Every structure is written in C-alpha cells, then in structure tokens.
Amino acid sequence: MSISFPEQGWFKAPSAGERLWIGLAIAWCLVLTLAMPYWHFKGKQNSTGEAYRVTPAEFYQRAQKFIEAYKVGEDRYTAIVQPPPGTDVYLTARMWRWDPVLKLKKDQTYRVHVGSMDLNHGFSLQPVNMNFQVVPGYDHVLTLTPTRAGEYSIVCNEFCGVGHHTMAGKIIVEE
C-alpha cells in the first residue's frame, strides 16, 4: 500500500504493460520536443525574441520622431501614421492608450517596436488574436507582415490599473 513500507527488493524493472505505456509516452514527448523548434523555423510565425533595453523616455523620443515624420491625419486626438513599407514602426503603450494609429500596407513587412511608458501592458491584436507582452524598459521588436486588409483593434490584456479595460488602439491595413 502507498502508506506502508514496501517489501525488500521493491526496486524492480517495470512490467510489460508499464514498459509499453512509458515507451509510448517517451515517444510522444520526443515528437513534441521536435515539433516546437521545427515549426519555429518552418512556420515562421514566431518572434525570435528580438528586444533591446531602452528607457521609457528614450523610447518616447523615438516614437515622437516617427510620428512627426509619417503623420497623415488624426483620429480621436490620436495621430494616424502611415510609414513606408520596410521601415521601423513605433507603438507606445501607456495607461490607458496605444499611440499612434498605424496605417500599414498589406503584404509589406514592418519592424514594429512596441514599448511601454509605465507598467507592463499586453499587446493583443483582435480579431486575429495575436498576443505579446510589453515590458517597460524593453523595446520589443516584432517583424510583422499583414496578410489581410481591414481594421484591427489592439486591446491591452495585461492588468495595468483601474482603467485597464478601456485601453484599446487601432491598426488599419490597406490593400
């Protein structure tokens, strides 16, 4: 019994049924182990984890410069920015807004720098449902290629204070 002392000589090899199960389990573990790196390279869906240390103030400067250079309009007190394809794009998160509104071209690749001005935030692109952590002090670089035109919302999915549930931004993808 599991609450009593095992007989002497309890250390013995697994029986046939146990060996079969453990063998199957190990084989499945190996499949899972190989699947993750395989799809990392083959699927090309994952971030490589490119990131740089940056102070919030410095990130803010870079983002402002970016907004001034490519601003094309304004929507609800937020700049709409249309950067040329292939450029570095900046998106700042703060309690409780995303800046600016990005206007991107379909099938073009952008290096999107996401940074926080204050707390941890969650970059959650809807309705595609793609999620990344935004950590203050870090410039998180996501290499993104939009594949479908339309309007997307960015919601915050990391708790960031009592206004957390009002934090939503926008990305527009054009043909």
Taking the least distance from each CB to another protein, the nearer of 40 and 84 is 40
Taking CB under 8 A as the criterion, the residue among 16, 127, 147, 175 binding another protein is 127
Least distance (Å) from another protein to the CB of residue 175?
A: 21
Using the contact rule CB under 8 A, the part of the chain among 10-18, 60-68, 86-94, 104-112 near another protein is 10-18
Least distance (Å) from another protein to the CB of residue 4?
A: 6
Return the structure tokens found at 38. Answer: 């395989």
Bridge partner residues of 125 (DSSP): 130, 154
Least distance (Å) from another protein to the CB of residue 40?
A: 6
Best CA proximity match to 91, nearest among 66, 58, 120: 66
Residue partners of 130: CB distance under 8 A and separation at least 6: 124
Taking the least distance from each CB to another protein, the nearer of 44 and 175 is 44
Name which of residues 56 to 115 contact another protein (CB under 8 A): 76-78, 97, 101
Strand 150-156 and strand 138-144: the pairing is unpaired
Taking CB under 8 A as the criterion, the residue among 73, 84, 137, 150 binding another protein is 137
8 A C-beta contact, residue 49 and residue 69: no
Taking the least distance from each CB to another protein, the nearer of 110 and 156 is 156
Least distance (Å) from another protein to the CB of residue 156?
A: 8
Amino acid identity of residue 106, one-letter, is K
Residue partners of 136: CB distance under 8 A and separation at least 6: 56, 115, 116, 117, 118, 119, 120
d(CA 104, CA 102): 6
Our finding on whether 169 is near another protein (CB under 8 A) is: yes
Our finding on whether 139 is near another protein (CB under 8 A) is: yes
Our finding on whether 44 is near another protein (CB under 8 A) is: no
d(CA 82, CA 101): 9
